[in-house]
Chain A
Amino acid sequence: MVKIEFLGPIEQKPLEIEADSLRDVANFLQKIESLNSWLDRCAVAVNGEMCNDLSKRLYSGDIVSILPPVCGG
């Protein structure tokens, strides 16, 4: 199982799904209506490292983090 966590203001509890790649995660999340307004503005990290590649292979225990728009300072 891969864990998906939603950071900052996204009000969605963590999810655990079967996924072999980041593409599987993308396809799964696109079906969740409450995330529609977030997804196109979110970046992704896998196990604490930014990831820009949907073909990224995932393994059981991996953590995928969804990062909405930021504003530090």
Chain B
Amino acid sequence: MELYQGPLDIKSIFSRWLDEERESNYGAFIPFIGIVRAEDNIEGLSFDIYEPILESWFNSWVEIAKERGAKVKMAHSIGDVPIHTSSYISAVFSPRRRVALELIDEFVEDFKANAPIWKYDIVDGKRLYAEDRSSPMSGSGILTNKENR
């Protein structure tokens, strides 16, 4: 897992990932690239990350991938990322395409739901929390759930 300040240099990262796995004999490599779209007059997006949990979340996916004979990689931005650049890329390598196609779907969806990353729209140079697009992590509400007391 790789974290970078600002937008990702996706060509160099993917190129390096391919080099890293050149001798691994994987038959399928499926990249995913998230690009910041121009919408609602935003200048870009900005991100906060909580690294300890992101690390353990990612490591659990490394294990899931390993059980299927596959490998996952990802890179994400910290801070401001202008429109038309990339803030998130991931990839699955596997011996055969079917495993990789399924894994990239599950991996990216779970990333959206449970990776401890907070997104802000940048409008007029200010950071506005993207509350309407955010979802509570699993286990949320424990601090107010009366049944737990």
Contacts and interface: CB of A to CB of B under 8 A. Distances in A.
Interface of A: 7-9, 22-23, 25-26, 29-30, 39-45, 48-52, 54, 65-73
B144 A39 contact: yes
Interface of B: 34, 47-48, 50, 52-53, 56, 76, 87-88, 108, 111-120, 129-131, 133-145, 148-149
Given A50-B53, A73-B111, A39 B119 contact: no
B119 A67 contact: no
Contact of B142 (A49, A54, A73): A54
Interface centre among A8, A42, A68 (most CB of B within 10 A): A8
Given A9-B118, A23-B149, A70 B137 contact: yes
Contacts of B138: 43
Given A67-B137, A73-B111, A7 B116 contact: yes
Contacts of B118: 7-9, 68, 70-71
Top 5 A-B pairs ranked by shortest CB distance?
A: A48-B52, A8-B118, A72-B117, A69-B134, A9-B129
B139 A7 contact: no
Nearest to A5: B50
B140 to A, nearest CB: 5
Contacts of B52: 45, 48-49
Contact of A26 (B131, B139, B140, B142): B142
A51 B149 CA distance: 15
Given A7-B50, A26-B142, A29-B143, A69 B137 contact: yes
B148 A72 contact: no
A30 B148 CA distance: 14
B61 to A, nearest CB: 13
